[in-house]
Amino acid sequence: MPRGAGLPGLGFGLSAYGYGTISALLVLYLTDRGLGGSSIGLAVFAGAFLAARWAGSPAVDRFGGAPVAVTVLTIEAAGFALLATVPTLSGALAGAALAGVGVSLMFPATVALTLHRSPNAGPGTSVGATTSFWDLGILVASPVSGLIAAAAAGVAAGLALALGRGAASGMGGGGGNQAHAPETTLSSSRRARA
């Protein structure tokens, strides 16, 4: 691993984990909770991502990779916390939009940070090492989030845990009490088969 690529890569991998979790579970979460919006949830996430990338990319040049990365990871975590703690369609869509904004600038921010932190290494090698963390985050997001959802007795509780528990706790939101997770269609269907 080139010197200077590890820390930006870790941040990029964390962002990718959130991206992968939303991709794998958002539609299931909206359906399981009966919130509606399952046909537009990912479109809201993608639209916010694209708009923020278009409008915000100059911020990396203006403020630097590290401040932008910290800011957008915080925005992404706030989106996950909102998804986990506001059980309404508008809350879920707002959370998905915030998560999309959060993911949007991680690539330019981490590339800028990597290049700044590893001036003597080859840029291709350094950026390649950093972006490998994205691949790792995506690799583990779906199965780990799915296991959390299964262990938490359903998609709704699992999404709340996978996306919001740590983020909401870290931001003072608490993430809800998983001991009182609402009945979900997934957990009901498991009991019916047992």
**Which of 8-22, 44-58, 136-150, 173-187: highest mean pLDDT?**
44-58
CA distance 35 to 185: 13
Runs of H (alpha helix) within the chain: 6-32, 41-63, 65-85, 89-104, 106-117, 123-151, 155-159, 166-170, 185-193
Residue 179: CB atoms within 10 A of its CB come to 5
Instruction: Average the pLDDT over 41-56 and give the result.
Output: 96
Q: Do 193 and 165 meet the contact criterion of CB atoms below 8 Å apart?
A: no
pLDDT band at 116 (very low <50, low <70, confident <90, very high): confident
Count of residues in the chain:
194
- Please give the structure tokens belonging to residue 47: 């639209």
Label residues 86-95 b or e (16+ Cβ within 10 Å = b).
Answer: ebebeebbbb
39-48, 59-68, 160-169: the lowest-pLDDT one:
160-169
**Every domain of the chain and the residues it spans:** 6-193
| Phi, psi for residue 173 in degrees, rounded to 5 | -90, -20
Q: Please, what is the average pLDDT of the chain?
A: 77
Q: Do 42 and 162 meet the contact criterion of CB atoms below 8 Å apart?
A: no
As a dihedral over the C-alpha atoms of residue 49, residue 40, residue 94, residue 176, rounded to 10 degrees, the angle is -120
**55 or 161, greater pLDDT:** 55
pTM of the predicted structure, to 2 decimals: 0.74
- Please give the structure tokens belonging to residue 43: 């479109």
pLDDT > 90? residue 185: no
Distances (CA, A) of 19 to 9, 12, 25, 182, 190: 15, 10, 10, 25, 27
**154 or 134, greater pLDDT:** 134
CATH class for the domain made up of 6-193: mainly alpha
CA-based nearest residue to 8, from 108, 76, 99, 100: 108
**12 or 188, greater pLDDT:** 12
**Which of 79-93, 120-134, 147-161: highest mean pLDDT?**
79-93
> For 122-150, what is each residue's pLDDT tens digit?
888 888 888 888 888 888 887 888 777 77
pLDDT > 50? residue 165: no
